[in-house]
Chains A and B, each alone.
Chain A
Amino acid sequence: MNLHIVKKILNAEVICGSEFLNRDVKMGCGCDLMSHVLAHIEHKDTLLLTGLTTPQVIYTTDVVDIKAICFVRGKRPDEEVIKLAETYNIVLLGTNLPLFESCGKLYKEGLTGISEYESSN
């Protein structure tokens, strides 16, 4: 699923990285705990959905090579975080939907989760 479609499904705004919206994401991860993201995300084509908007989210996603983040429940990062994301070429989206509904909508449209993705590959 490319990020254009993610944007449409979540009625999301593009905060930065609009030139990379043709990137494909193969699975989603909804999480506010960055230690969990570090420990369990092994596939770079993952979309991270989170309510956290700190610089640590960007550093974490960079470490595990995640290239797209969608902030949920109307949260938006400050300028500094956006700049950081731009330097790492990470796409930032923002939706007003809560985390559970965002994940649910994407899952319904065919984006899988980590356990399913691993068992199908």
Chain B
Amino acid sequence: MSQAIKTTKIQELAYASKVEDAMSTNIVVVTPYDSILDVWLKLRDNRISGLPVVHEDYIVGIISVEDFIKCLMLGKTNELVKDHMTSKVETIYGDELLIHILKKFEKFKFGRFPVKDRDTNKLIGILTKGDVIECLLKKLEKDYYEEESQKRNICNFFDDVCSDSTNIQLKYNVIGKEFKKAGEKSSLLKNALLKLGISTEIIRRIVIASIESEMNMIIFTDGGELIVWIDENKIKVNAVDNGPGIPDIEKAMTPGYSTAPDWVREMGFGAGMGLPNIKNCTDEMKIDSVVGRGTNLEFIVNIKNETGRNN
């Protein structure tokens, strides 16, 4: 990967944050007609080192502790802000990305930037380096908590429930030809397995098989059931329907062999990979099918003592 586009986590966050996410909106300001002494009081009381000078919501200058010291040395503390402020102010807009502002801090060596609204040009906040650091730390913390709480949600159901033998059955009704929802039941199954604390690798394999069999039921039958048995050793799924049945199972197992109509291909399926996919990602698979009667496709993924493809 080229050097120019390698980024750190902090840079990523700075790309994803805007000035308005980080700026302080509680702004202490002075007007051009306040005295230098007023400036000093505000700087002292708020423990800050600079103030934006604002006239009717618009920023007209900036005055810092250095300007105050100069006036103090020259005995001009009773004069007005407008005569001693810096009127050429470097401002930024609220919708700018923090990453660009970091470069501005480097370029101008200023400690703070007044923030303006892009539409109204009015002053809406102020951004210091401290604000930027605080914003990035908060975002880091949020990301960290999201990760942590995801980990905590996954409890191991089978370790928590005490019995000599525990098993759970989940049943999903699949409605034939309801194409819009094709895949939905497998998605529900995935969430249920996550909540049971099944490992993501096992879930992946069982759900890939279940989505393919759900597609098959929706495409070829009038509907059926996905019956999922879970115990501490394995997950077994029976995809059961009432017809039309598979005339030649061997042929149906051949990768690339398909009897699916075009509209199925438009959904991204129907390329003759369904049954081969199911076989590849499960530990056991068998098909009982009678033409005109129905099909019972059974597949198993072992949870413990895995004999699957990964071992």
B1 touches A63 (CB 8 A): no
Which residue among B204, B280, B281 has the maximum number of chain A CB atoms within 10 Å of its CB? B204
- For B180-201 the 0/1 string (1 means CB < 8 A from A) is 1111101100100000000010
Residue A11, interface by CB 8 Å: no
Docked CA distance A24–B5 (Å): 12
The A16-72 residues at the B interface (CB cut-off 8 A) are: 19, 21-22, 24, 32-39, 50, 52, 54-60, 62-65
With A21-B16, A22-B16: A33-B268 Cβ-Cβ less than 8 Å:
yes
Q: Which of these, B182, B204, B271, contacts A63 with CB under 8 Å?
A: B204
Residue A104, interface by CB 8 Å: no
Report B28 CB to chain A, min CB distance, Å.
31
B180 touches A55 (CB 8 A): yes
What are the residues of chain B within 8 A of A64 when measuring CB–CB? 204, 208
Docked CA distance A42–B273 (Å): 17
Selected interface stretch from B7-15, B45-53, B55-63, B237-245: B7-15
B208 touches A39 (CB 8 A): yes
With an 8 Å Cβ cutoff, the count of chain A residues facing the other chain is: 33
What are the residues of chain B within 8 A of A33 when measuring CB–CB? 268-269, 271, 273
Residue A5, interface by CB 8 Å: yes
**Secondary structure dominating the interface of B:** helix
A63 touches B208 (CB 8 A): yes
A32 touches B16 (CB 8 A): no
Q: Which of these, A24, A36, A54, A63, contacts B186 with CB under 8 Å?
A: A63
What are the residues of chain A within 8 A of B274 when measuring CB–CB? 35
Docked CA distance A19–B18 (Å): 11
B15 touches A59 (CB 8 A): no
What are the residues of chain B within 8 A of A54 when measuring CB–CB? 266-268
Residue B207, interface by CB 8 Å: yes
B277 touches A39 (CB 8 A): yes
With A35-B212, A35-B274, A65-B204: A56-B182 Cβ-Cβ less than 8 Å:
yes
A38 touches B180 (CB 8 A): no
B183 touches A60 (CB 8 A): yes
Q: Which of these, B5, B184, B190, contacts A5 with CB under 8 Å?
A: B5
What are the residues of chain B within 8 A of A74 when measuring CB–CB? none
Report A25 CB to chain B, min CB distance, Å.
11
B1 touches A19 (CB 8 A): no
Closest to A23 in B: B12
What are the residues of chain A within 8 A of B217 when measuring CB–CB? none
What are the residues of chain A within 8 A of B259 when measuring CB–CB? none
With A54-B266, A56-B267: A39-B273 Cβ-Cβ less than 8 Å:
yes
Residue B120, interface by CB 8 Å: no
Write 17 A-B pairs (CB below 8 A) sorted by A numbering.
Answer: A4-B16, A22-B15, A33-B271, A35-B274, A38-B211, A38-B277, A52-B266, A52-B267, A54-B267, A59-B211, A60-B183, A60-B268, A63-B190, A63-B211, A65-B200, A110-B1, A111-B1
